[in-house]
Structure 1
Amino acid sequence: MDTAGGINRLPVGPVRRMFAAASRHDLEAMVLEFAEDYVNITPVHPERNFRGREQVRRNWTSLFAAIPELALEVHDCATGPDEKVWVEWSSSGTRLDGVPVEQAGVAIFTVTDDKLTAVRFYLEPVERESGDVNAAVRAMTAAQAPVPLEP
């Protein structure tokens, strides 16, 4: 991985500039990469959807203040049709109250006229103690035991 936390893997443009600015905690440079009417869609938490870069500013102001050494890492990325940039990334740090925080996931950005105009946002808190895959399937299906695999 490169010394920029994987940011150099990103295509040149507003996604790379936004991640670089966020990594430096440069709020103003980061917010400038978003279109004024930017749309953030969080499919697994629809009530968190929002429109406008001023909400981006509020969100990241809070993050930088509450997690002073917040670090971002880009794990992988891909470009797709219609000016899409897919980014697998994570963030980690320690809140002012001493609680460690870690998130991981994917963001699918839409770029139009060299600005971030939309994202489908799938970043979630990392759960280290939620059980293995069998526990997850049992929770989803309300099953009592894992179903054996056919030989």
Structure 2
Amino acid sequence: MTDLDALTKLEAAINSHDANSVAACFSADYVSETPHHPSRNFEGRATVLRNWTAILSRFPNLTARVLRRAITGDEVWSEWAMDGTAGDGTSAGIVGPVIWRTDSNGLVTWARFYLEPATDEPIRPS
């Protein structure tokens, strides 16, 4: 599996609305970094599952799109846009880059997230 295949698999897993499928894209020893919010850093696939279970419960119609992608060395650079509506009608959109690495099995082993809320309007690719 190539790094771009892994990216496509993750996008499809998010859009399947199945937290287990999302978590299956990550290695057991996965490391997540959020430079703008260091207290959100974590390790492990179990936390991926817990986080995505909560996200998909709150936004059951969440849509994720990879707008741009590039590979440099052993890193995948991707720009994401996600939007959805909560059960109370609240709309949410986040956008931004994610930089990540995969192992030889195509599982994400490390990522740096720069995703941030955009507006209450759906994100449209340019």
Q: TM-score range by the shorter chain?
A: 0.7 to 0.9
TM-score, normalization by structure 1 = 0.73
Q: Which has the larger share of strand? A: 2
Give the 3-state SS of the residue equivalent to 2:60 in structure 1: coil
Q: Once the two structures are superposed, what CA deviation does each residue of 1:61-112 show, in whole Å capped at 9, x if it has no partner? A: 011111111111111010011x211110111011111111010001001112
The count of residues paired between Structure 1 and Structure 2 equals 118
Partner of 1:49: 41
Q: Which runs of 5+ in 2 are unaligned?
A: 121-126
Q: Which structure has the larger Rg over C-alpha atoms?
A: 1
Give the 3-state SS of the residue equivalent to 2:67 in structure 1: strand
* Contact 2:92–2:119 (8 Å) recurs in 1: no
Q: Which runs of 5+ in 1 are unaligned?
A: 1-9, 129-151
Partner of 1:97: 88
Partner of 2:62: 70
Bigger relative contact order, structure 1 or 2, given CA contacts below 8 A and separation 6+? 2
* Cα root mean square deviation, aligned: 1.6
Tell me which stretches of 4 or more aligned residues in structure 1 moved more than 4 Å. none
Q: CA deviation at 1:26?
A: 2.5
Does residue 110 of structure 1 match 2:116? no
**Equivalent-residue separation in structure 1 for 2:99 and 2:50 (angstroms):** 21
Q: CA deviation at 1:15?
A: 2.2
Query: Aligned residues: percent identity?
Result: 36
TM-score, normalization by structure 2 = 0.87
